[in-house]
Amino acid sequence: MKFFIDTANLQQIAEAQAMGILDGVTTNPTLMAKEGISGADNIMNHYKAICHIVDGDVSAEVMAVDYEGMMREGEIYAALDPKIVVKVPMTADGVRAIASFSKMGIKTNCTLVFSAGQAILAAKAGATYVSPFIGRLDDISFDGMELIDQIVSIYNMQGYATQVLAASVRNPLHIVKCAEAGADVITCPLSAMTGLLHHPLTDKGLAQFIIDAAKMKG
C-alpha cells in the first residue's frame, strides 16, 4: 500500500519524504488555500515545488466545474511535470473529462467519491486513482471503511485497473484498516502517518535499553 501525504505544506511534505516512506502527495483547493497560495503563477510554482520534493505522483485538483474548463486546467497542470495527476471531481463533466484525459495518457484522480456506484463510473472512465472519502462518511455516521471494502472487492471482481486511493484518512487506525481492506493507496495528514510510530511498550522498552546500554559502556 502506497503512502501519500494529504497537504500542500512544503515543510510537512519534506518531513514525510525524509522519513523514507512517502510515495506521493494529494492536494485540493482547501489545502492550497490553507497555505495562502493564490494566483495562477503561484499555483503553478507551488505544484512544481511539491514535484521537486517527492519521487511519486502529485495530485493537482482542477478548480473549474465545466468540462472545457477542467480540460484546459488539467492540460496545463499535466504539462508542469510527469508526476502530476489531474484531480477531477465526481460529476458528469468530471467523468467526461477523466475519459478524455485517459485517452490522452494524462493520469487522473477522481475525487469526492462517496458510493460504490460513483467508484464504478470512475473506473469505467479510466481514472488512474479513485478517491473514496472515509473520514467524511464517518462524520455523518456512515462507515467509511465499509465503502473501501466494497470498492476493493468490486474492482478485484471486475478486473478494473483504477487504483483505490483511500482519502479523508484521519488517524492511524484508518491506515491499518485500509491495509487490511487491500486499498492500493492511502492519503492522510503527516500526524496520522507519524501516529503509526507510537506504542507505550516501545517507549518503555527503549528507555530500558538506553539504561542497559549505558551500563555496558561501563
Q: Under the rule (CB under 6 A), what is the footprint of ligand G3P?
A: 6, 26, 28, 133, 135-136, 167-168, 170, 187
- Distance CA(166)–CA(163), nearest Å, equals 9
Amino acid letter at 46? H
- Using the minimum distance from each CB to ligand G3P, give the nearer residue, 70 or 167: 167
- Using the minimum distance from each CB to ligand G3P, give the nearer residue, 7 or 100: 7
Query: Least distance to ligand G3P from the beta carbon of 188, Å?
Result: 7
- Distance CA(99)–CA(132), nearest Å, equals 19
The C-alpha cell at 134 is 472515509
Query: Least distance to ligand G3P from the beta carbon of 21, Å?
Result: 18
Closest CA to 127 of 175, 59, 182: 59
Amino acid letter at 61? E
Alpha-carbon dihedral sign for residues 53, 57, 63, 69: positive
- Distance CA(125)–CA(134), nearest Å, equals 22
- Using the minimum distance from each CB to ligand G3P, give the nearer residue, 78 or 188: 188
Query: Least distance to ligand G3P from the beta carbon of 200, Å?
Result: 27
Q: Is residue 19 within 8 Å of residue 53, measured between CB atoms?
A: no
- Using the minimum distance from each CB to ligand G3P, give the nearer residue, 100 or 131: 131
Question: Catalytic site residue 87?
Answer: yes
Within 8 A by CB and 6+ apart from 205, the residues are none
Query: Least distance to ligand G3P from the beta carbon of 171, Å?
Result: 10
Q: Is residue 94 within 8 Å of residue 110, measured between CB atoms?
A: yes
Residues annotated as part of the active site: 87
